[in-house]
């Protein structure tokens, strides 16, 4: 997949990667391409043909490194998704990251460690990174976060910060091709509702989301379901456990549905905004709970409570 947009950040990265700094923070909303840029930058700085030139980031290359990279070869570029509880995160940083910094792999010119969802790392785990960020010359760290304010000041002061902006609708269109079954006006609404996040557009266009969405938004295409029934189905699918990704997926889908109703004049705009605010608070609370002491049991109970509230709220807010 190509890198779309972010040209200013790519320019800034070009010189940053040639400097002596070895820690970069990519911050910005989810789904705008931070991870995509990180992976391609790591590839480019190991490519055997287009040496270190980020203006050629989308040029296809069949050198040994790029071909292996395309097929999932990730030695030398270590890419981690963080969603660990405090103690596990500390062990993980010690063994998986710090313990393996000295490993050498043939054909790798520059080593990268990419940490996704860095905002979930506890302060104690972050502290373990301080020394390596400053002293390790052979490895470049890319810390990806949607909440820059949560990173420790000492980490920020040792890093170059790159702020990623949301994408324009035409950029989104370049990244995600809408399914043929969607009407043009619905597609436009999806892009608007995604607020510049390609990740969200992808989620809205997921066949499973489309079928769920159809069943609540277009009763004529099938039996109309209540939001609460959909939640129940999802929960059964997950054998009783409601996962965070499912939660955000449902919240987004419901938002899309409300948005459409607002445009059609069925719902009052003020309910949509009120809903948005509540969803934002819900996500913040989930993130807080996920930090050091949040147990999944508490999160699950908390989410269920909020869903009950939101469901009754949204059902009541219909103008009809």
Helical H segments across the chain, by residue range? 7-18, 34-44, 64-70, 86-92, 123-135, 153-157, 169-175, 184-193, 198-204, 207-217, 227-237, 244-263, 269-290, 296-316
**Distance of closest approach, residue 64 Cβ to Zn ion, in angstroms:** 8
Residues in contact with Zn ion, counted by CB under 5 A, come to a total of: 5
Q: How far is the CB of 68 from Zn ion (least distance, A)?
A: 10
Does position 32 interact with Zn ion (CB under 5 A)? The reply is no
CB nearer Zn ion, residue 45 or residue 162 = 45
Residue 149, classified by CB atoms within 10 Å of its CB into exposed (0-12), middle (13-18) or buried (19+), is exposed
Range 94-153, binding Zn ion (CB under 5 A): none
If the CB atoms of residues 51 and 288 are measured against Zn ion, the closer one turns out to be 51
- Which residues between 195 and 234 bind Zn ion (CB under 5 A)? none
The two tokens of residue 30 are 């989810």
Question: Which residue number, 49 or 168, has a Cβ lying nearer to Zn ion?
Answer: 49
**63 versus 274: smaller Cβ distance to Zn ion:** 63
Residue 57 or 314: the one with the smaller Cβ distance to Zn ion is 57
Question: Who's near 193: CB < 8 A, 6+ residues apart?
Answer: 200, 204, 255, 256, 259
Question: Nearer to Zn ion by C-beta: 61 or 186?
Answer: 61
Give the Cα-Cα-Cα angle 199, 201, 207 (nearest 5 degrees). 105
Nearer to Zn ion, 49 or 181 (CB): 49
Pick between residue 102 and residue 106 the one whose CB is nearest to Zn ion: 106
Neighbours of 78 (CB within 10 A): 18
Of the candidates 262, 276, 278, the one whose C-alpha atom is nearest the C-alpha of residue 318 is 262
CB distance 257 to 217 below 8 Å: yes
β-strand pairing of 160-163 with 77-81: unpaired
To Zn ion, the closest distance from the beta carbon of 58 in angstroms equals: 12
Binding to Zn ion, residues 35-74 (CB under 5 A): 47, 49, 61, 63, 66
Least separation in angstroms between CB 49 and Zn ion: 5
Shortest distance (Å) from residue 28 CB to Zn ion: 27
Least separation in angstroms between CB 50 and Zn ion:
6
DSSP assignment of 106-149 equals TT-SSEEEEEETGGGS-HHHHHHHHHHHHH-SSEEEEEEES-GG
Taking the complex as a whole, the smallest distance from the CB of residue 66 to Zn ion amounts, in Å, to 3
* Sequence-separated (6 or more) residues with CB below 8 Å from residue 15: none
| CB of 63 vs Zn ion, minimal distance in Å | 3
Residues that bind Zn ion (CB under 5 A): 47, 49, 61, 63, 66
């Amino acid at each position: 997949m190509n890198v779309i947009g972010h040209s200013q950040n790519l320019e800034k990265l070009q010189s940053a990667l040639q400097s002596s700094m070895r820690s970069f923070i990519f911050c910005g909303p989810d789904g705008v391409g931070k991870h995509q840029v990180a992976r391609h930058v790591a590839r480019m700085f190991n490519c055997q043909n287009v040496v270190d030139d980020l203006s050629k980031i989308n040029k296809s290359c069949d050198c040994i490194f790029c071909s292996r990279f395309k097929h999932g070869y990730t030695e030398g570029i270590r890419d981690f998704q963080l969603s660990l509880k405090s103690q596990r995160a500390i062990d993980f940083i010690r063994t998986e990251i710090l313990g393996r910094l000295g490993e050498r792999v043939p054909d790798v010119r520059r080593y990268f460690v990419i940490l996704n969802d860095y905002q979930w790392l506890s302060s104690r785990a972050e502290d373990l990174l301080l020394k390596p960020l400053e002293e390790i010359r052979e490895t470049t760290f890319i810390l990806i976060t949607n909440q820059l304010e949560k990173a420790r000041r000492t980490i920020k002061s040792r890093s170059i910060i790159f702020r990623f902006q949301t994408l324009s609708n035409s950029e989104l269109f370049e990244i995600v091709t809408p399914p043929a079954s969607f009407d043009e006006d619905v597609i436009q609404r999806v892009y608007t509702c995604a607020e510049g996040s390609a990740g969200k557009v992808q989620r809205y266009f997921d066949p499973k989301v489309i079928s769920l969405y159809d069943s609540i938004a277009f009763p004529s295409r099938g039996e109309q379901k209540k939001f609460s029934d959909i939640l129940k189905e999802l929960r059964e699918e997950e054998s009783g456990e409601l996962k965070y990704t499912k939660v955000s997926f449902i919240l987004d889908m419901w938002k899309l549905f409300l948005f459409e109703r607002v445009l059609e004049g069925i719902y009052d705009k003020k309910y949509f905004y009120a809903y948005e605010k509540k969803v934002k608070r819900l996500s913040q609370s989930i993130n807080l709970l996920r930090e050091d002491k949040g147990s999944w049991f508490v999160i699950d109970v908390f989410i269920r409570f909020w869903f009950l509230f939101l469901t009754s709220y949204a059902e009541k807010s219909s103008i009809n």
